[in-house]
Amino acid sequence: MNRTEKQQIIESLKGELALEGGAVILADFKGLTVANAEEVRREFRAAECSYRVVKNTLLERAVRGTDLEPLASLLEGPTAIAYHRTDPVAPAKAAVKCSKEHKQFEIKGGFFEELLDAVNVDALSKMPSKDELRSKLLATMLAAPQNLLRLMLAAPQRMLLVLESRKRQLEEG
């Protein structure tokens, strides 16, 4: 690989890692078989995350001078990088799932607003995703008008039931 190709990879990584609220997870994949590596890639694709293997020196140069610079401390041995630009939970969930299914896939750490170790990546993976949070917020916002509507309809319905009951009493007796 010549210097121009390396520079293109570095610039590409810089652009891809310009996170907008997302997260980056680093993992060691040493010992994975080709079939297992393909399963890992599929898992990240299903989570709509980007996953690639990069040379440590190129990644180190790509994060130099950015918020992600602390990741350079995790760059030892073979490194796979998984990231999502806007969702911090998706790559963490996929990485934790892969590390449980494949013992050779070890999470080194990650970055979400600050440097994370493997334990914090696991904690991040247990948080609800953005879509789950949005649906909970929407459900909360819809609950108030629905409850108000139920209350407004309850009084006339009860009055109608009382009137029907009285009508039956009069008809019988």
Mean pLDDT of 100-104: 88
- 63 pLDDT band (50/70/90 cuts)? confident
Mean pLDDT of 17-24: 80
**76/65 same-domain check:** yes
Mean pLDDT of 4-29: 84
**83/146 same-domain check:** no
Mean pLDDT of 152-157: 88
| Angstrom distance (rounded) from CA 140 to CA 144 | 7
- 37 CB neighbour count, 10 Å cutoff: 17
Report the pLDDT value the prediction gives residue 121, as an integer from 0 to 100. Answer: 87
Contact in structure between 22 and 88 (CB atoms under 8 Å): yes
| Angstrom distance (rounded) from CA 110 to CA 114 | 8
In the chain, what's the furthest Cα-to-Cα distance? 102
Mean pLDDT of 43-65: 88
Identify the residue with better confidence: 55 or 22.
55
> Is the predicted pLDDT of residue 173 greater than 80, yes or no?
no
**34/12 same-domain check:** yes
Report the pLDDT value the prediction gives residue 168, as an integer from 0 to 100. Answer: 92
**94/158 same-domain check:** no
**109/133 same-domain check:** no
**52/123 same-domain check:** yes
> What φ, ψ does residue 81 adopt, rounded to 5°?
-120, 135
* Structural domain span for residue 12: 3-127
- 88 CB neighbour count, 10 Å cutoff: 25
**35/73 same-domain check:** yes
- 88 pLDDT band (50/70/90 cuts)? confident
**103/143 same-domain check:** no
* Residue 123 token pair: 């904690």
- 95 pLDDT band (50/70/90 cuts)? very high
Instruction: Specify the residue for token string 């009951």.
Output: 165
Identify the residue with better confidence: 131 or 161.
161
**81/156 same-domain check:** no
**74/159 same-domain check:** no
**103/140 same-domain check:** no
**11/44 same-domain check:** yes
pTM over 0.85: no
Report the pLDDT value the prediction gives residue 156, as an integer from 0 to 100. Answer: 87
Return mean pLDDT, the chain: 87
